[in-house]
Amino acid sequence: MQATTSIKSGITKGVMLIVLFFLVQAALVGYIIYEARSTVVENTRSNTVASSQLERLAVLAQQIRRYEKEYFIYTAIPQKRAGYEREWRDAFSKIETMLESMKTDRDGAFDARDIEQITAWGNAASFYASEMLNIIVTVNERTVAVTSDRETRAYGALASRPGEGQHASAAVSATAPLAAYTAIELNEMIKPGKERFSDELVKGVEAMVALKSDGTLALAREAELKFTQVLVGMVSSAVAGIAIALLLSQRLPMTAIRPIESLSQAAHDMSLGDLSKEFDAGGVVEFEKLVQALNRMRVGHQALVDLLQKR
């Protein structure tokens, strides 16, 4: 039994195929764009946030070291020393706040390994701060001792008179005057703290900034790759769409053309007196009734011819 087909069904299937193709194309492009957004845009955002925080931390680290040096230089000048001590304490408070914020990471800018490094930076900063605070206490104690020593010497000088208090004056002048710590001495005292602060925090921040910058550049290359994939996908789908359209443009008309040609040839033969050939719809549903009518006409003509031949 000959399989039947339908022009309407063929057109519907062709249209559905084209629609399905464009849906698949849209889904593919949408997926690639979504992947690009999730892996590129989001990571770029987090790297930008991380770099901004790291740069602020680097600035604060430079500031606190500068205030430390200025404090050491002006140790012998109480007003300036007190001013730089306040600046140093304020800078360290900001560093603590910044490190705590980075560890909390509400913006999702750091991964687990970054958080471990930030925690290590916090420990280094705390050690440096404890060393510096011990120095501040020591400097304050030395300042009190120097002031007391000067007062004692001044009192001894005033109390001594020619022929009086010779032994007391000699005892005071025999010992060297007590002096404030020099910047060199203080630098030696802070050395363990500042070296750990520099090696772990300062250099660590520099390394992470470079890593985040490289990551951002890599994301730019990845974005370029993703959009290239989108372009290739769109071009490929366009080529496939054209191929499907050409295939349908050939296949769908042939569904109607072949039966029409067959019926036209059979009708032509019948008009010339050849009534032996039956009309065939070629399996096309839309031509079935036409074929039946033509076959009835052929049979009628054949009966008429047979009747005339008998007479």
The residue behind tokens 């770099």 is: 51
Beta partners for 161?
164
d(CA 224, CA 211): 20
Question: What does the pLDDT read at residue 284?
Answer: 66
Instruction: Find tokens 């050491």 and name the residue.
Output: 72
* Of the listed ranges 59-68, 111-120, 164-173, the one predicted with least confidence: 164-173
- pLDDT tens-digit readout, 198-219: 999 999 999 999 998 888 888 7
Confidence of residue 26 (pLDDT cuts 50, 70, 90): confident
pTM of the entire predicted model: 0.64
Question: Shortest CA distance to 103 belongs to which of 119, 123, 126, 81?
Answer: 119
Residue pLDDT, tens place only, 219-257: 778 778 877 877 887 788 778 778 877 877 777 666 666
Query: What count of Cα atoms within 13 Å lies in the side-chain half-sphere of residue 133?
Result: 9
Tokens in use for 197? 């602060």
DSSP state for residue 285 in the 8-state scheme = G
